[in-house]
């Protein structure tokens, strides 16, 4: 592989161009955009960093698709981004026109490239590129799977305190609200995520009361007790044989209770409580308008 083209010199496109160039996997990276002077200026800065970062790949900034000729791979980041309150599907019509034009330009100068689509709504744009380009299915790829899996891995790492390089995560489905994480296929230090104890607290954001519980859940057991007095309201359930949690087996299994309590103590010390996200006044107004449209207020 000798040439990669990035369509769109925004934040995503320019970062992609730089990352590919720094990896020295190809001899040339072309970055094209409709804004005159933008890709050229970015390319100049990146090329001047080659001395510092010690990579050989040349970056070319251009406003012409002629410079993309004979690209092996094309990454399409062009299109309008979402604005506050917009869904990905709100971009369907506008970005559809842009992507169809981009695809025709790509195919005019490159015979059989691999096209990686980033533009939202991702799955629909990927289908449009495939239909417009008439390339084999294996040549048109949407980047959503790796993006959402990477995001999932980040949150797993943050919650478990395990380095990212020791995490393997998997998500499936359409990029957006219907994307599904698959915990059973995720590994943390080579252990299944579903087998790791999960800490839970019934009242994490307020002052602790007598009614509040704290506990853990593993693939085999669910254990919880009163948060203020750890010797009271002890519950232990065998999830494999009692999935409905009808039979509290704590009194018959003091050794299991002890081991679960030890795990809980460790997790309690390391547990971090995320503060609720605070909205700006503008965001609050958008939410309020949406709730009015749905008839909630």
Task: Give residue limits of the domains in the chain.
Answer: 3-142, 146-193, 198-270
pTM of the model: 0.69
Answer whether 59's CB lies under 8 Å from 46's CB: yes
CA–CA distance from 145 to each of 76, 158, 170, 172 (Å)?
Answer: 16, 20, 8, 7
Say whether 205 is catalytic: no
Q: pLDDT per position in the chain (297 positions), as tens?
A: 799 999 999 999 999 999 999 999 999 999 999 999 999 999 999 999 999 999 999 999 999 999 999 999 999 999 877 666 666 677 788 899 999 999 999 999 999 999 999 998 889 999 999 999 999 999 999 988 888 999 999 988 887 788 999 999 999 988 877 888 998 899 999 988 877 887 778 877 667 788 889 999 888 899 999 988 888 899 999 999 999 999 999 999 999 999 999 988 887 776 555 555 566 777 777 767 766 665 555
120/104 Cα distance (integer angstroms)? 18
Answer whether 290's CB lies under 8 Å from 282's CB: no
From the list 88, 175, 222, 225, the catalytic residue is 175
CB neighbour burial string for 79-96, b if at least 16 within 10 angstroms, e if fewer? beeeeeeeebeebeeebb
Q: Where are the beta strands (DSSP E) in the chain?
A: 3-7, 28-32, 58-62, 73-76, 114-117, 140-142, 167-168, 171-172, 180-181, 187-188, 191-192, 198-201, 213-217, 221-226, 235-238
Q: What is the 3-state secondary structure (H, E, C) of 50-113?
A: HHHHCCCCEEEEECCHHHHCCCCEEEECCCCCCCCCCCHHHHHHHHHHHHHHHHHHHHHHCCCC
CATH for 198-270, options being 3.40.50.10490, 3.30.530.20, 3.30.1120.10, 3.90.1150.10? 3.30.1120.10
The domain 3-142 having CATH identifier 3.90.1150.10: the answer here is no
């Amino acid at each position: 592989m000798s040439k990669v083209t990035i369509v769109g010199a925004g934040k995503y496109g320019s970062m992609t161009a730089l990352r590919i160039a720094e990896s020295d996997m190809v001899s040339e990276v072309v970055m094209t955009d409709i804004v005159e002077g933008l890709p050229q200026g970015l390319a100049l800065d990146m090329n001047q960093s080659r001395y510092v970062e010690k990579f050989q790949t040349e970056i070319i900034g251009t406003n012409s698709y002629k410079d993309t000729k004979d690209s092996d791979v094309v990454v399409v980041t062009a299109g309008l981004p979402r604005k506050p309150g917009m869904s990905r599907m709100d971009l369907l019509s506008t970005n559809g026109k842009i992507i169809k034009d981009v695809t025709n330009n790509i195919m005019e100068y490159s015979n059989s490239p691999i096209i990686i689509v980033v533009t939202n709504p991702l799955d629909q744009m990927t289908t449009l590129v495939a239909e417009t380009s008439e390339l084999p299915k294996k040549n048109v790829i949407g980047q959503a799977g790796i993006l959402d899996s990477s995001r999932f891995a980040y949150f797993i790492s943050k919650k478990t305190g395990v380095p990212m390089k020791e995490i393997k995560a998997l998500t499936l489905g359409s990029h957006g609200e219907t994307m599904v994480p698959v915990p059973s296929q995720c590994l943390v230090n080579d252990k299944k995520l579903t087998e790791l104890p999960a800490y839970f607290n019934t009242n994490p954001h307020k002052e602790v009361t007598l009614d509040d519980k704290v506990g853990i859940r593993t693939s085999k057991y669910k254990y919880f007790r009163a948060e203020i007095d750890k010797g009271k309201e002890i519950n232990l359930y065998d999830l494999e044989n009692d999935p409905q949690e009808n039979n509290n087996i704590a009194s018959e299994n003091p050794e299991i209770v002890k081991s679960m309590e030890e795990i809980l103590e460790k997790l309690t010390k390391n547990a971090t409580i995320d503060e609720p996200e605070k909205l700006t006044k503008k965001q609050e107004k958008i939410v309020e308008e949406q709730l009015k449209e749905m008839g909630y207020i």
